[in-house]
Amino acid sequence: MIPLPDAQAHVLSSVHRLDAVDVSLSESAGRVLADAVVADALIPPFANSAVDGFAVRSEDATVPGITLRIIGMVAAGASRLPAVGPGEAIRIMTGAPIPPGADAVAMVEQCDVRGDLVELSEALGSGRNVRAAGDDMAPGDRVLDAGAWIGPGAVGLLATLGRTVVPVVRRPVVGVLSTGDELVDPASTPGPGQIRDSNRPALCALIRERGFDAVDLGCAPDDEAAIEAAILHGVASCDALVTSGGVSMGDYDYVKVVLDRIGDMRWMQIAIRPAKPFAFGVIAHGGRSVPVFGLPGNPVSSLVSFELLAAPALRSMAGRADVAPLVVPAVASAPLRRRRDGKTHFARVALDRSGTELVATAASQQGSHHMAAMARADGLAVLPDGDGVESGERVEVVLLRSY
């Protein structure tokens, strides 16, 4: 058995970032930035008021209770700005440029207006309630790194800088193939010995939830020619392939036979539970080089294996700088028991908030075929080899939710 970090490192070292494409600002949301963004302007572009109130000269307002004469008004968007002289104030709105002469703004809540006079109830230092030009960004500031995920804040930043064409990394197109003679389509009624193919829809959903494109390559029977045809079809049309089933020690594990013939594969027994068997390699065919993740067939194993081994590699292909699964600290609500077996266990747990802490509660059924427990899980509690974790003890949890 090989340790999980070694398997993860091997997979990550074998994949490459996909090429960059230009997309529109609105299409850039949820993508990964291909190049760093360096500001080319002062943001804010001009000093402006942070509040509604009165623009004044701070030297006129060194003590509370000063009365000034109101000589005009500037609103946001104003381009003609009256100057503020000694003893004067100008009514100003949030976002309006600071008029010449003024260097501070008294909040309207701190002002008592009587006719064309205003009394300030507090003293004001220079710069009070003023947003200086460039205090957010200045030319040359690297404001986003390549590999950053473009969230709503980044979209706003790009818009502010006028970047309406955004270089993003192409989103990996991931083909999903199920294998097994026992599998029928979810819309069919299984006959004797058959079950519905649940991995394919589950993996497609997971791939999309993690921000990649999923392509359904169907379900191949346990037949070498059929599996090879399906895989080569996937190689021709996808950036990466995910297969489920046929990678363990069974007699009809033809995925193994086919992948060994057409790919440069490494077959691993990883020191984890569930999801011990895992295959990874690269298929070079028709001028393309496509990584393939051979996941075990058991439904829980296939999803856990994807999260721990395939998702980080796909994030790397997608250009993400941070590829590791997100791990959060939690407290066990009850003992999370396990036996010593040389493996790290990933127990399916529900997470609940309790004050400032997350509380992890194990699903009652921890078998690799127990889909009902998997469907309710929020995370995977990491139980290093040993006897487990006692009630109230800390435990790390790999988040299964979208992030």
Query: Least distance from C-beta 403 to ligand AMP, angstroms?
Result: 26
Helix, strand, or coil (residue 380): strand
Cα–Cα dist 30/20, whole Å: 15
Q: Which is nearer to ligand AMP, 244 or 316 (CB)?
A: 244
* By the rule CB under 6 A, 182 interacts with ligand AMP: yes
Q: Which is nearer to ligand AMP, 31 or 348 (CB)?
A: 348
Query: Least distance from C-beta 263 to ligand AMP, angstroms?
Result: 18
The answer to whether 279 and 296 have CB atoms below 8 angstroms apart is no
The answer to whether 73 and 90 have CB atoms below 8 angstroms apart is yes
Query: Least distance from C-beta 246 to ligand AMP, angstroms?
Result: 5
Q: Which is nearer to ligand AMP, 170 or 256 (CB)?
A: 256
Q: Which is nearer to ligand AMP, 52 or 197 (CB)?
A: 197
Site string for ligand AMP, 279-308 (x = CB under 6 A): -----------------xxxx---------
Considering only residues 49, 178, 243, 305, which one is a binding residue for ligand AMP as defined by CB under 6 A? Answer: 178
Amino acid symbol at 217: L
Count of CB atoms within 10 A of residue 124's CB?
27
* By the rule CB under 5 A, 294 interacts with Mg ion: no
Helix, strand, or coil (residue 158): helix
Q: Which of residues 188-247 bind ligand AMP (CB under 6 A)?
A: 195, 197-200, 244-246
Considering only residues 147, 180, 291, 294, which one is a binding residue for ligand AMP as defined by CB under 6 A? Answer: 180
Count of CB atoms within 10 A of residue 30's CB?
13
Considering only residues 53, 97, 175, 180, which one is a binding residue for Mg ion as defined by CB under 5 A? Answer: 180
Considering only residues 183, 214, 270, 330, which one is a binding residue for ligand AMP as defined by CB under 6 A? Answer: 183
Cα–Cα dist 58/242, whole Å: 66
Q: For tokens 């709503």, what's the residue?
A: 152
Q: Which is nearer to ligand AMP, 299 or 388 (CB)?
A: 299
User: DSSP label at 81?
Assistant: -
* By the rule CB under 6 A, 122 interacts with ligand AMP: no
* By the rule CB under 5 A, 379 interacts with Mg ion: no
Residue 152: alpha-carbon gap to chain centroid? 12
Query: Least distance from C-beta 239 to ligand AMP, angstroms?
Result: 22
User: DSSP label at 325?
Assistant: P
Considering only residues 245, 291, 319, 379, which one is a binding residue for Mg ion as defined by CB under 5 A? Answer: 245
**∠ CA 128-130-131, rounded to 5°:** 135
Cα–Cα dist 256/267, whole Å: 9
Q: Which is nearer to ligand AMP, 101 or 221 (CB)?
A: 221
Q: Which is nearer to ligand AMP, 134 or 201 (CB)?
A: 201
Query: Least distance from C-beta 132 to ligand AMP, angstroms?
Result: 59
Q: What is the largest CA-CA distance in the chain?
A: 94
Cα–Cα dist 263/292, whole Å: 9
The answer to whether 255 and 247 have CB atoms below 8 angstroms apart is yes
* By the rule CB under 5 A, 274 interacts with Mg ion: no
Helix, strand, or coil (residue 327): strand
Number of residues that bind Mg ion (CB under 5 A): 4
Q: Closest Cα to residue 211, out of 370, 347, 18, 397?
A: 18
Q: Which is nearer to ligand AMP, 245 or 291 (CB)?
A: 245
Q: Which of residues 250-279 bind ligand AMP (CB under 6 A)?
A: 250
The answer to whether 268 and 14 have CB atoms below 8 angstroms apart is no
List interacting residues with ligand AMP (CB under 6 A).
Answer: 178, 180, 182-183, 195, 197-200, 244-246, 248, 250, 296-299
List interacting residues with Mg ion (CB under 5 A).
Answer: 180, 245-246, 297
